[in-house]
Chains A and B, each alone.
Chain A
Amino acid sequence: MPNNEQTKATHYIHRTSYGFQEQLVGAFILVTVGLLLAMLFAQIKSQNIFEEYFVIYGKLSSAEGLSKETIVQISGFEVGHVSAIDITDKNDILLTMNIVKRYHKLLRTDSRIKVSSLNATIIGKSIISITAGSPDLAMIDEGVTLAVQESRSVEDVIAEATETIQTVNSVIEDISNVVAAVEPKKIADTISAFQQLATNIKDMSEHIKTGAGPVGTLIYDDKSSQDFKQGIENLHATTVQINQMVESLNTDVQKIPLMLESINAVIDDTDETIKATQRVWPISSAMSGSDNKQLITDPMPAND
C-alpha cells in the first residue's frame, strides 16, 4: 500500500522511460519554438511592418512636441505616424503623415485633424488625432493637405493663469483694507474686560484656599486626611491584585516549554517544506547533488 501511495504522489513523468521523456521534451521545445515564432509574427504584425500606407499632409503653425515618431490616431486607434516635418514657403509647418491603407475608409471629407500641445508638456510627446468621418461622405484622396486644428498651447494656459493670479491679488488687497478699517480702541476695551475676568478668578481661588465656601471645605477640611488613608488602603488592595496577576503570569511562564515544543514542531514542518522546495525546479538545479553519493571508486586502473 505505501508503495501505491508513493506512486500516486510522484508525477507521472518520473515513471516514464527515458525515450518517452526525450520525445516529450522535444515536443515541448517544438511547441515553444512555434509559439515564439507566432509571437514574433504577431509583434511584426502589430508594428504594421508589412502594411501598405497612403500619405496625407497637415498644415499648422507650430511643431511643438512633434517629431517623426509622432503617432497618428483615428478615434483612439493608432493608424500611422508622422514621416516628415517640413516648412512651407509661407513659413507654415507641413506634416507628412503615413496612414495604414486599411484605415483609409475612416478618413472622410469631414474628418478633422487635431494636435495637442499640452500632451507634449505633460508626457513629452504630442499625438495627432483625426476624427473618423461620416460614412455618408466621400473618402479623402491620397496626398491632400488638411488644416490642423491646434489646441491651446502652454503659453495660452499660462496667460490665463496670469489673469487669475491678478484677480487673487485684488482680493488680498480688499482683505487688507478691511483689516485696516478695524478700530484699535475697541480692541483695547475688549482686552481690558479679559483682564477684569482674570482678577475675579484669582479672588475665587483665594477663597477656596482659606476653606471658605463648599469647594474650599471639600479640599481643606480634616476629613481629607481620612480620605487619604482610604486611598492608601485602596492602593494596598491594588498591590494584592498585582500579586495575583504575577502569579498568573508565573503559570503562563511555565507554559513556555510547551510552547517551545510546539515551535520545534513548526520548525520541523518548515524544514520539510524547505526540503520540498529544494526539490522544485529551478531551485533544485541550483542545489549541489548531495543525494548522488558516489559509493564506488572510478573504474580506471589504480596502478596505471
Chain B
Amino acid sequence: MIKLKYLLFVYLMLILTACVSAPDKKENPYLLERAESYMASGVEYYQHYEYLSARAQFTKALYEYQGFNYVAGIARCRLNLAKLAIALGEYDEADKNLKLARQIIDDNKLSELTILADIMSSSMAIQLKNYASALAYLEPYLSDMNAVKNRDAAIYIAVILNRVRVAFGLGDEQKKWMDRFYQAIDKNDPGYRARWLRFQAELASLNNEYADSERWLMQALELYRQQANPKGVSSALQALGAIKLKKQDWHGAADDYENALLASFKIKDKSTVLEILDVLSGLYLKLDKTVNKKKVDHLKSVITEKNKNLWYVMPVPGI
C-alpha cells in the first residue's frame, strides 16, 4: 500500500509545477513595442485629463502603426483620437477620426471595435441633442444586453449610461433605464455612484424637487472632488447652477458656473466652456456686470474663431 506521505509528495509536486510555469512572455518587434508604448502612455495621460499630451502620444503611435500598416493599431489609435476630440468638444475632429476608424474596422473585420465606435457616435449625437440618432447607434446592443454584459462589463455600463442620457433627452422612460444603470454599476465605485446621484438629481429637478436635487448634486460633487475629477466637478456644478437659475438665484448660479468654467478650462473642454460662457454672459447681463460680460463675449469670439487653437491660455473671465 502506498504511504500517505508519498501521495502528498506527488500532489505537492503537481501543484508546484503548475505554479512555477507562467507562459513565456511574448516578445513583440521593437517598432510594435514602441507604438504600443506611445498608446499606453496616451491612455494614461487621457485618464489624468492631460488631453493635449494624450493627443501627442496617440499621434506618435498612429505614425508608428502606419509605418508598418498595423491596421488594428491604426483603428485603435483613430478611436482614441476620436474619444479625445469628444472630450475636448472638438466634434468635427472626432467625426473625422471616427469615420476613418470605421472604415478600417469594416475593411479588416475588426468587429470587436465596432461597439466602441458606436458608443462614441451615440455620445456625439447626445451632445448635439440628436437623440434619435444616438438611440439608433445603441439599439443593436440594447436588444441583446446579456451578450454585451458577458463580453465586457465596462462596455455594458457605457451603453446603459448613454441610454439613460437618451431617455432624459427624449423625456421618456428615465426611471426604467436609471434602474437598469443602477443594477449594472458597482455601488462602491465612487465614479459610478456620483453619476447615479446626478441622474437622481436630474429626475428630481424635472419633478421640481429642487431641494432633493441639490442634495444629490452636492453629494455627487463631493465624490468628484475626492476623485479630483474636473469633468465630473464641472458637470455637477453646471447642474447646481441650472437649479439656481430656475430658482432665480442669479448670484449663486454665477458662482457655480464660474467654478464649472474653471474646471472645464483646466481640461480644455472647448464645447463645455462655450456652453458655460453662454450662460455666464446672460447671468452677467442680469447682474449688471458689464465688464465681465465683455470679457466673456470676447473669450467666446476667440474660441469660436478659426485657427485660434490656444484659447485656453487666456485668463478665465469673472474669477
Interface residues of A (CB under 8 A from B): 6, 9-11, 13-14, 28, 31, 35, 275, 279-282, 284, 291, 293-304
Which of B8, B25, B40 contacts A35 (CB under 8 A)? B8
Is B280 in contact with chain A by the CB < 8 A criterion? Answer: no
Residue of A nearest to B8 (CB): A35
Q: Are A294 and B40 in contact, with the CB atoms below 8 A?
A: yes
Chain B contacts for A10, CB-based, 8 A: 21, 23-24
Quick check: is B116 within 8 A (CB to CB) of the other chain? Answer: yes
A14 CA / B83 CA spacing, docked (Å): 35
- A14 vs B65: C-alpha distance in the bound complex, in angstroms? 30
Q: Which residues of A contact B73 (CB under 8 A)?
A: 295
Contact of A299 with B158 at beta-carbon distance under 8 Å, contacts A10-B21, A284-B22 already known: yes
The answer for the CA separation of A291 and B46 in the assembled complex, in Å, is 19
Contact of B39 among A6, A291, A295 (CB under 8 A): A295
B161 on interface, CB distance cutoff 8 Å? yes
B25 & A291 in contact (Cβ 8 Å cutoff): yes
> Contacts A31-B11, A299-B155 known; A293 to B37 CB distance under 8 Å?
yes
Seen from chain B, the residues whose Cβ lies within 8 Å of a Cβ on chain A are 8, 11, 15, 17-25, 36-37, 39-40, 43-44, 46-47, 73, 76, 79-80, 83-84, 86-87, 89, 115-116, 119-120, 122-124, 126-127, 152, 154-155, 157-158, 161-162, 165, 195, 231, 235, 271-272
List the 6 shortest-distance A-B pairs measured between CB atoms, nearest first: A11-B21, A279-B22, A302-B87, A293-B40, A301-B123, A299-B158
Q: Please, which residue of chain B has its CB at the minimum distance from the CB of A292?
A: B40
18 A-B interface contacts by CB (under 8 A): A10-B21, A10-B24, A11-B17, A35-B11, A279-B25, A282-B19, A295-B39, A296-B80, A297-B43, A297-B83, A299-B155, A300-B157, A300-B161, A301-B123, A303-B87, A303-B127, A304-B123, A304-B161
Please name 6 further chain A to chain B contacts, defined as beta carbons within 8 Å, in addition to the given A275-B25, A297-B43, A303-B124, sorted by A numbering: A11-B21, A31-B11, A280-B19, A281-B19, A284-B22, A293-B39
Q: Evaluate contact between B18 and A11: CB separation under 8 angstroms.
A: yes
Bound: A303/B44 CA distance, A: 18
B24: A residues at CB distance < 8 A? 6, 9-10, 279
Most A C-beta atoms less than 10 A away, residue of B15, B23, B119: B23
Contacts of A282 in B (CB 8 A): 19
Dominant SS at the B interface? helix
Q: Do the beta carbons of A303 and B123 come within 8 Å of each other?
A: yes
Q: For chains A and B in complex, what number of residue pairs have CB atoms within 8 angstroms?
A: 103
Of B22, B79, B158, which contacts A281 at CB under 8 A?
B22
A293 & B36 in contact (Cβ 8 Å cutoff): yes
Chain B residues lying within 8 Å of A31, measured Cβ to Cβ, are 11
Do the beta carbons of A296 and B43 come within 8 Å of each other? Answer: yes
CA distance A280 to B23 in the complex (A): 10
What is the distance, in angstroms, from A294's C-beta to the closest C-beta of chain B?
Answer: 5
CA distance A10 to B17 in the complex (A): 11
* Chain A residues whose C-beta falls within 8 Å of the C-beta of B39 in the assembled complex: 293, 295-296
Task: Given A304-B161, A304-B235, check contact A14 B23 (CB 8 Å).
Answer: yes
The answer for the CA separation of A13 and B15 in the assembled complex, in Å, is: 11
B152: nearest chain-A partner, CB-CB:
A299
> When A28-B15, A304-B165 are in contact, do A296 and B116 touch as well, CB less than 8 Å?
yes
Which residues on the A side are within 8 Å of B154 (C-beta)? 298-300
The CA of A48 and the CA of B8, in the complex, are separated in Å by 24
Asked whether A295 and B36 contact (CB < 8 A) given A13-B18, A300-B158, the answer is: yes
Known contacts A293-B36, A304-B195, A304-B235; A299 and B22 CB within 8 A of each other: no
Which residues of chain A are within 8 angstroms of B127 by Cβ–Cβ distance? 303
Q: Return chain B residues, CB-CB under 8 Å to A13.
A: 18, 21
Contacts of A296 in B (CB 8 A): 39, 43, 76, 79-80, 116
Chain A residues closer than 8 Å to B158, beta-carbon distance: 298-301
Closest to A275 in B: B25
Rounded to whole Å, the gap between the CB of A228 and the closest CB of chain B is: 73
Instruction: Determine the distance from Cα of A300 to Cα of B44 in the docked complex, in whole angstroms.
Output: 15
Chain B residues whose CB sits within 8 angstroms of the CB of A304 once the complex forms: 123, 161, 165, 195, 231, 235
Give B59 Cβ to nearest chain A Cβ, in Å: 15
Shortest beta-carbon distance from B191 to chain A in Å: 8
Chain A residues with CB under 8 A of B124: 303
**A61–B34 CA distance with the chains assembled, in angstroms:** 87
Is A302 touching B17 in the complex (CB atoms < 8 A)?
no
CA–CA, A298 to B43, complex, Å?
A: 9
* Contact A301 to B25, CB < 8 A, known contacts A293-B37, A295-B43, A296-B76: no
A158 vs chain B, min Cβ distance (A):
47
Is the CB–CB distance between A297 and B20 below 8 Å?
no
Complex Cα spacing A10 to B26, Å? 12
Q: Which residues of A contact B25 (CB under 8 A)?
A: 275, 279, 291
Query: Which residues of chain A are within 8 angstroms of B122 by Cβ–Cβ distance?
Result: 301
CB-CB under 8 A from B18, the residues of chain A are: 11, 13
With most chain B CB atoms within 10 A of its CB, the pick from A9, A28, A299, A300 is: A299
